[in-house]
Structure 1
Amino acid sequence: MVVLANPPIDQISLLKSSKPGPCSSVIPVINLSDSGAAEAIVKACEELGFFKVTNHGIPMELMGRLEEEAGRFFSLPQAEKERSGPPNPFGYGNKRIGPNGDIGWLEYLLFAIKSSSISQASAAFLAEPSSRSFRSALNDYIAAVRRLASEVLELMAEGLGIQPRNIFSKLVIDDESDQIFRLNHYPPCPLSSTGFGEHTDPQIISVLRSNSVSGLQIALRDGRWVSAPSDPESFFINIGDSMQVLTNGRFRSVRHRVMTNGMRSRASMIYFGGPPIAERIAPLPQVMGEGEQRLYREFTWGEYKRAAYKLRLGENRLAQFEDQQEGERVL
């Protein structure tokens, strides 16, 4: 999603929002060191499409180092930040989310990932000697969180009882995998507003970590919104649209949004793991029961990505890829 760097964040018009939902205990917490973690992950993916993981093995020092570097960048004068953009599509931006009219109370940095580090093309502004510590923190963090994504995806396959165990993880660790990393900064907002509007993530998996300021909300199946309590020592996992297709709707691509805070800045770091552009996406036979109808037609990730980014944030991106049986839409 592309954010343009004009106007600066302090000139953004406030957006009215619905009342934020309460914190809720419905969000699963999964200890990755537990013997039943694989089964717990599958249950969370089926029921909510979102969960928190603990005992993930990533040092707090590594997470804190990137948060500090990002905070230093977002504290720069606006003109200096804008020299790192506008995004094309990578770099610095604020206010506008994508090219289709969505706006939010945020500024961000967006990077492409090549293998396990940020690509040279998407981070040219970090080539300066003064930016070496920022670049180092980014690459160390990305390498660690990419391994975490791979581990969680392999646990999903294990919990589903399908082979090979890397059937999902290989899609995001291929040399040609389409991976994105995003640093979001939500400044304090004097009125309740939407920092980032409701949407689903198009990719296979998203791995999120934030500072101690809450704001992330998740939509339940009945349409209610619940807040995800902040926990800077843990990670939250989102199931994306592509995983929903691969599991034929068994796993849910969760709708989520970010609300602003009136007193404190929220910072978040999100790894988006997507497959190679030419990878074909379709429901896997291994996850479908005998006689089960396919809910989605086959498409490439490139086809889906092009179609998805033509839509507004809140639109149902998967609708145009639903399969049809006997002339009627399956879902």
Structure 2
Amino acid sequence: MNSVKKMACEILETMADGLKIQPRNVLSKLLMDEESDSVFRVNHYPPCPEVQPLNGNSNGNMIGFGEHTDPQIISVLRSNNTSGLQISLRDGSWISVPPDHNSFFINVGDSLQVMTNGRFRSVKHRVLSNREKARVSMIYFGGPPLSEKIAPLPSLMRGDQQSLYKEFTWFEYKRCAFNSRLAANRLIHFEKIAAS
């Protein structure tokens, strides 16, 4: 887990460089904190041979893990060479991410979306199981300490730009996520309503 945590930190520092955030470890230090609420999880999606093809889809895929966004700062995913990961486009359609057992897939989490005031967006995704082959995925979810305040970074707020989100702690967000449906937009509870 230490190697994937280190990779996640390097990615966050590269993102900070791109946004010209100082210090560059402002995000990665949250994962390195000894109180970090990071998790490593392995998911197994067994084949489902009883699934019948739908709408001409010869794979006969079914939902293995429902649509959602990751709540943490960043997620690093690697899987066996089996398809199944899909992301939702802005128009609501789904596209498959080609499997590549030599690559890592990086998801921006809801917390990073807030901390960048929407410059980086968490992407809704899901996993499909298929009829013939099992899918195994390993995911590192990089989370901040439970007491960490989540809000747009001051160095990203330019001029009279307003925060899109109310400040909250990671614990408050986790509690909200636990009490909501998987597919729900959990950030809506923390969005600031624009004055009319």
Same fold (TM over 0.5): yes
Matches within 5 A, 1:3-82: none
The answer for the alignment partner of 1:296 in structure 2 is 165
Question: What is the aligned counterpart of 1:285 among 154, 164, 171?
Answer: 154
Alpha-carbon distance between aligned partners in 1 of 2:180 and 2:189, rounded to the nearest angstrom: 11
Matched, 1:268 2:137: yes
The answer for the alignment partner of 2:77 in structure 1 is 208
The answer for the alignment partner of 1:175 in structure 2 is 34
Q: How many residues matched?
A: 186
Matched, 1:188 2:66: no
Letter in 1 for 2:190: F
User: Which structure 1 segments of 5+ residues have no match?
Assistant: 1-141
Between the two structures, name the one with larger relative contact order (CA 8 Å, sep ≥ 6): 2
Alpha-carbon distance between aligned partners in 1 of 2:156 and 2:134, rounded to the nearest angstrom: 42
Cα RMSD (Å): 1.0
Alpha-carbon distance between aligned partners in 2 of 1:312 and 1:160, rounded to the nearest angstrom: 32
User: In the TM superposition, what is the alpha-carbon distance from 1:288 to its structure 2 partner?
Assistant: 2.4
User: In the TM superposition, what is the alpha-carbon distance from 1:202 to its structure 2 partner?
Assistant: 0.5
Matched, 1:198 2:67: yes
More helix by share: 1
Alpha-carbon distance between aligned partners in 2 of 1:324 and 1:212, rounded to the nearest angstrom: 43
The answer for the alignment partner of 1:21 in structure 2 is none
TM-score (norm 2): 0.92
The answer for the alignment partner of 1:53 in structure 2 is none
Q: Deviations over 1:233-276 (max 9, x none)?
A: 11000000000000111110110000111111000000000000
Letter in 1 for 2:26: I
Letter in 2 for 1:221: R
SS in 1 for 2:38: strand
Question: What is the aligned counterpart of 1:257 among 112, 123, 126?
Answer: 126
The answer for the alignment partner of 1:324 in structure 2 is 193
Matched, 1:150 2:9: yes
Q: Deviations over 1:165-219 (max 9, x none)?
A: 1011001110000011110000001213100000000000000000000100011
Alpha-carbon distance between aligned partners in 2 of 1:221 and 1:155, rounded to the nearest angstrom: 25
Q: Deviations over 1:113-163 (max 9, x none)?
A: xxxxxxxxxxxxxxxxxxxxxxxxxxxxx1111110010000000011110
User: In the TM superposition, what is the alpha-carbon distance from 1:220 to its structure 2 partner?
Assistant: 1.4
Greater Rg over alpha carbons, structure = 1
Find runs of 4+ consecutive structure 1 residues off by over 4 angstroms: none
SS in 2 for 1:178: coil
